[in-house]
């Protein structure tokens, strides 16, 4: 595809998109901006900018990969119009309406990727504005597929839900890994073995999904023998409201995503 792409922000997400896009676009087609020169060093491209206005003219697509709290200041720093650009935002909670208002563009995509885009195993939910045409959709899908799997939704509220589920989801996985690690140390394992136990247990369990199409509930039941150790642990979790606590946490994340748009 001939589109020139500008990435605003060279942090974890912006850097991940930069790396993924190199498999579909040439270095000449990918531009990246960040005020922090140290972050730009990792992108290894001559199309890197510390002044956003210098980058804007040379691109057709702008990917906003910055914190939502920085969005207003960033837009205010522009002295050039971006109303003719295809805008892809991966900022949590910033609505299509606000993106349109602030950028002046009619062609808006709001997307929510997660951290595994760093290894091209991410999940990105996205929704498009009405002005997005088929050619734009093809560009969007190529960009999002470059870092994993993309999922288009039709209702913008679903983006807040995807933020809570998959956007924040890796942190829940790491939290459980952390708890398993802590308990292994408490049991007396040294830190190296505790890390091996906790990380391999969860990454190994996750890898089963690549070889078995069974839903998670069936896989859980396959591990759970009646009257056994796993059943004792799961019963304890349920009796103490773990399921409700976890689902309430997802609601809290969803609500925070909505608040970020205010």
pLDDT tens digits along 154-175: 999 899 899 999 999 999 999 9
Give CA 81 to chain center in angstroms: 27
Residues of the chain with CATH 1.10.3730.10: 169-259
Q: How far is CA 230 from the centre of its chain?
A: 32
CATH number listed for the domain at residues 5-155: 3.40.50.720
What's the pTM?
A: 0.87
Which of 260 and 126 is assigned the larger pLDDT? 126
**% of the chain residues with pLDDT over 90:** 80
pLDDT in tens, 222-254: 999 999 999 999 999 999 999 999 999 999 999
CATH domain 169-259 topology: ProC C-terminal domain-like fold (1.10.3730)
Strand boundaries in the chain, DSSP class E: 5-8, 30-33, 48-49, 61-64, 86-89, 108-112, 122-128, 148-152
Using DSSP, state whether 31 is helix, strand or coil: strand
How confident is the model over 133-157, as a mean pLDDT? 94
Q: Where in the chain is the domain with CATH 3.40.50.720?
A: 5-155
């Amino acid at each position: 595809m001939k589109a020139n792409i500008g990435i605003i922000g060279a942090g974890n997400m912006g850097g991940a998109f930069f790396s993924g896009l190199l498999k579909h676009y040439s270095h000449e087609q990918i531009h990246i901006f960040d005020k922090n020169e140290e972050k730009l060093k990792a992108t290894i491209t001559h199309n890197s900018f510390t002044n956003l206005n210098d980058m804007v003219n040379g691109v057709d697509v702008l990917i906003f990969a910055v914190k939502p709290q920085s969005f207003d200041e960033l837009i205010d720093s522009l002295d050039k119009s971006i109303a003719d650009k295809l805008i892809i935002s991966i900022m949590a909670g910033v609505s299509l309406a606000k993106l349109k208002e602030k950028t002046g563009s009619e062609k808006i995509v709001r997307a929510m990727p997660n951290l595994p885009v760093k290894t091209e195993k991410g999940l990105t939910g996205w929704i498009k504005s009405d002005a997005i045409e088929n050619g734009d959709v093809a560009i969007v899908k190529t960009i999002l597929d470059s870092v994993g799997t993309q999922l288009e939704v039709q209702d913008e509220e679903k983006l807040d839900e995807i933020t809570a589920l998959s956007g924040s989801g890796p942190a829940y996985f790491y939290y459980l890994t952390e708890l398993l690690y802590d308990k292994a140390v408490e049991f007396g394992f040294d830190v190296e073995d505790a890390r091996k136990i906790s990380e391999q247990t969860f990454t190994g369990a996750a890898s089963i999904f690549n070889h078995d199409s069974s839903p998670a509930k069936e896989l859980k039941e396959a591990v759970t023998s009646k009257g056994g150790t796993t059943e004792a642990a799961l019963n304890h979790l349920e009796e103490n409201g773990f399921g409700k606590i976890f689902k309430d946490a997802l609601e809290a994340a969803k609500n925070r995503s909505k608040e970020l748009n205010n």
